[in-house]
Amino acid sequence: MDEWGKSHSDYFKESREIKSRGWTTDENDKNRINELESIEIYCGYGSEYVNDCLRKNKSIDISIYKNIPFYLKNLINKFEIEDDIIVVKRIPSLVLKKENYREGNLYKDKAFLSTSLNINYRLNYQSEEKKLNNNALCIIKVPKGTNGVYIHKALGGGGRDEYEVLFNTETSFIVEKRRKIFNNYILNLKIE
């Protein structure tokens, strides 16, 4: 993870350097800047709006968000996860019930799949601890060679220490195990 995580971080460092130079006519540089700006917006509050539109097949009406799916898909497809890894994601139990996450089911998310390498990461947007209450903790096996990008250092300051790995839209995974503990669930998933 150290090597490929560093290569992903170096890519964003170089993109920030390109952006700092200002206006450019080079198409590759323009794409790098657009990728970086898309990640910056997505990692803020943009992910909720963009992913909601993708899941509901709605058009993205807010101009600042319109090109995010295009640039994020291109960015994610440039990188492969170079090791078998485990990532985590929290989802509300309401989503779990609505989507019928049952053992053995194959599920495909229309949205980008934001995950974390840090199982202890439990902060909300205000960096306050977010309790596990009426949620599902998804423990996701990611096989080597899966397209995904480690975006922890994309923002320059490192984000909120969530050690995020972002996967593309239409990511398929199988539910290997589902367990309920009080009002929470633990799901073991595997990306297909």
Residue 6: predicted pLDDT: 84
Residue 173: predicted pLDDT: 94
Q: For the domain 2-191, what is the CATH superfamily, name and number? A: Toxin ADP-ribosyltransferase; Chain A, domain 1 (3.90.176.10)
Rounded Cα distance, 188 and 186, in Å = 7
Residue 164: predicted pLDDT: 87
Token reading at 54:
């993708």
Domain boundaries, the chain: 2-191
**Placement of tokens 């799901």 in the chain:** 187
- 48-67 pLDDT, tens per residue? 999 999 999 999 999 999 99
Give the DSSP letter of residue 78.
Answer: T
Rounded Cα distance, 70 and 5, in Å = 23
Rounded Cα distance, 171 and 173, in Å = 7
Residue type, position 44, single letter:
G
pLDDT beneath 50: ranges in the chain: none
**Placement of tokens 């390109």 in the chain:** 18
Rounded Cα distance, 88 and 70, in Å = 25
